[in-house]
Amino acid sequence: MYFRDKVSYQPLPLPHRVRLPDAEALAAAGAFRDYMARRHTVRDFAPDPVPLAVIEACVAAAGTAPSGANHQPWHFVAISDTAMKARIRAAAEEEEQAFYAGGAGDEWLRALEPIGTGVSKPHLDVAPWLVVIFAQRYGTTRDGQRYKNYYVPESVGIATGFLIAALHHAGLTALTHTPNPMKFLNGLCGRPDSEKPVMILAVGHPAAEATVPAVAKLKKPLDEILTVRQP
């Protein structure tokens, strides 16, 4: 959080301490890995409602993420209003039409072919919730003074990861959606120009007929994503 007045460093005793024996740590890490491997991105949602309290708890978990200078440069807009979701879908599909008509370039479109995406985005009004994630490029105090935020993309990316993990932990499915450009979301969500929309998360339960692209189950092996340097 930003404080206009000078605030001195005041260390506090570590309020929570979690340390497991090595064997328990390995078991816990393996269990979490296996549980996260059950997270799937789907585009077919059931219209079943999800309580606002669940969304609020997940966003609160995202708000615990670390951030540059602890400025917490993020804002989340949770939308269940049917008319507003329809407007977001219409605006997103308008942008997607230009994207798939050639704006993306041949290489990008080829990369998307195995994923099975297209112009139509029914999940944007079928899913019970849309959570729009905004990055605060700079902040403003109550009296209008502007202040700088630091490591904004990194901080918002970490918080978004927390949110997706929290939603999965709550038994929900989340689909990331990034129409390009996304500036229309500021007006629709009533957010200031100081904030940049970075993602829409469609959130809910998967439909009975939900599928996933086969290629989505192909993950890089550990030796391709981890390098270890030790004595």
Contact of 134 with 152, CB cutoff 8 Å: no
Instruction: For residue 191, count other CB atoms closer than 10 A to its CB.
Output: 17
Rounded to whole angstroms, the Cα distance separating 200 from 185 reads 9
The superfamily CATH assigns to domain 41-207 is NADH Oxidase (3.40.109.10)
Domain boundaries, the chain: 41-207
Candidates 136, 161, 140; CA nearest to 151 is 136
Instruction: For residue 227, count other CB atoms closer than 10 A to its CB.
Output: 6
Candidates 156, 122, 131; CA nearest to 55 is 131
- How would you write the pLDDT of the chain (231 residues) with one tens digit per residue? 666 677 788 899 999 999 999 999 999 999 999 999 999 999 999 999 999 999 999 999 999 999 999 999 999 999 999 999 999 999 999 988 888 888 888 898 899 899 888 899 999 999 999 999 999 999 888 888 899 999 999 999 999 999 999 999 999 999 999 987 888 999 999 999 999 999 999 999 999 999 999 999 999 999 999 999 999
Predicted TM-score (pTM) of this structure: 0.94
Question: What is the C-alpha R_g of the chain?
Answer: 20
Cα–Cα–Cα angle for 98, 99, 105, rounded to 5 degrees: 125
